[in-house]
Structure 1
Amino acid sequence: MLNQMLQPLSYLAIRHPQKWKVDWLFPIVIAFVCTLCSVGEGGNSDIYRSSGPVSMLLGFFSSLPGFYIAALAAIATFGRNDIDNVLPEPTPTVKLMTRGENVLVKLTRRRFLAMLFAFLTCESIALVLYSVLFLSYGSVIAEFSLWGGVASKILILGMTFVYYVLLMQMLAATFWGLYYLGFKLHEPQ
């Protein structure tokens, strides 16, 4: 049952030569820069403050799961036949568990986009929950860092970095999904 609940994360297991850049390289590099830019006086991050980016973006993040679910429903019911053709080379693949054994599946545009938007729905919900956690406990952790606690400064910077990685990963994957929906989906294969 837990395996089924975590299935939206299987998008991260899709193999394609360029996909790791969208999933990890760009988000981590941008998150590192954002984390460095958000470090304030004394090595603290102020993004969790009431006027910081986390609280300002939380309302926007809260509405995203509905839009991703709508995109997922549109993809699942899209009536064009060639959306079910296997993607051209290099074809993205994923290992799926079928009847107790791992099977390597070449992805169609429909399956790729469905996996992508299921992942984005999951990640946006996780980002909302992480934002609430960050806003709730970020200032408490920061209080300890004001007393010179190196561990709490590292924890705040780590939480800031993770927040930005999730945010940048979601943005990169969203733009990639929009590219596929807006342009690649309408190209003949």
Structure 2
Amino acid sequence: MLISQIISPLNYLKVKGMKSKVMFDWIFPALLTGFSCFYLYLVSGWDLGFIVLESKFIDKLLSFTALLPGFFIAALAAIATFPRKEIDCALDNPKVSPTIKVNYIDRNGEHHRKHILISRRVFLCVLFSFVTFESVVLLLINLFSSVTVVSVESYYVLASLYVFFVLFVFWQMLTAAFLGLYYLSFRIHLLR
């Protein structure tokens, strides 16, 4: 139960019924990761010693993400306390109703799983908890990788997977954050 509570922000990935969500969650991050890797290949010939150690590209990228959890938590707090009642209406999609699968324990201690319709508020709260989770994970990766003394060339495949993973999670976090910003800056004003 404790593990499921710790990783509960990943429930954002279980939200179903939104047509563009797959684009923001998987396709855009994969494309941006591919473009980033291609750029790194052009610049350094995919010299992982240069990418990870000499240029400190990954370190700088992860240091930037260290600034983000506070902003994401502030956005989460603002959404949770936003006073407009329209934000508690269900997400509007004429073809399908957006849902999320939740696991919970009732008063009798029985475990249940069910899909629930989600409101705009729930969607934005889940989204910003997800990007907060990802930014903290990237921060922890940065902290632990800074004390790891490993020859990048000796572990070429592992170092390549590390770069791919960091870039994909970074772009996934950023595209999801941009989706949240779209809802907060534009879409929320169209609520009726």
Which of 27, 32, 35 is 2:34 aligned to?
Answer: 32
| Corresponding position: 1:117 with 2:128 | yes
Query: What code does the residue aligned with 2:88 have?
Result: D
Q: Secondary structure at the match of 2:26?
A: helix
Contact in 1 for aligned 2:128/2:180 (Cα 8 Å):
yes
What pairs up with 1:163-174 in 2 under 5 angstroms?
163-174=166-177
Whole-angstrom distance in 2 between the partners of 1:134 and 1:30: 23
What pairs up with 1:27-66 in 2 under 5 angstroms?
27-39=29-41, 40-41=44-45, 43-45=46-48, 46-66=50-70
Deviation at 1:50, TM superposition (A): 5.0
Contact in 2 for aligned 1:116/1:173 (Cα 8 Å):
yes
Query: What code does the residue aligned with 1:5 have?
Result: I
Contact in 2 for aligned 1:48/1:55 (Cα 8 Å):
yes
Contact in 2 for aligned 1:44/1:142 (Cα 8 Å):
no
The C-alpha deviation readout for 1:96-153, integer Å capped at 9, x for no partner, is: 123322121111110000000001110000011122334443x723142xxxxxxx22
| Corresponding position: 1:177 with 2:180 | yes
Contact in 1 for aligned 2:58/2:163 (Cα 8 Å):
no
Query: What code does the residue aligned with 1:67 have?
Result: F
1:58 to 1:163, Cα distance in 2 relative to 1, 3 A: closer
Identity, in percent, stands at 36
TM-score by length of 1: 0.87
Whole-angstrom distance in 2 between the partners of 1:75 and 1:91: 21
Contact in 2 for aligned 1:68/1:117 (Cα 8 Å):
yes
Residue 103 (structure 2) aligns with: 97
Whole-angstrom distance in 1 between the partners of 2:151 and 2:38: 19
TM-score by length of 2: 0.86
Query: What code does the residue aligned with 2:151 have?
Result: I
Which of 138, 142, 152 is 1:142 aligned to?
Answer: 152
| Corresponding position: 1:187 with 2:190 | yes
Whole-angstrom distance in 1 between the partners of 2:171 and 2:23: 12
Contact in 1 for aligned 2:87/2:191 (Cα 8 Å):
no
Segments of structure 2 that go 5 or more residues without pairing to the other structure are none
Residue 82 (structure 1) aligns with: 86
Whole-angstrom distance in 2 between the partners of 1:119 and 1:36: 27
Deviation at 1:81, TM superposition (A): 0.5
Higher helix residue share: 1
Which of 121, 131, 145 is 2:142 aligned to?
Answer: 131
Whole-angstrom distance in 2 between the partners of 1:8 and 1:186: 26
Segments of structure 1 that go 5 or more residues without pairing to the other structure are 145-151
| Corresponding position: 1:160 with 2:166 | no
Contact in 1 for aligned 2:63/2:142 (Cα 8 Å):
no
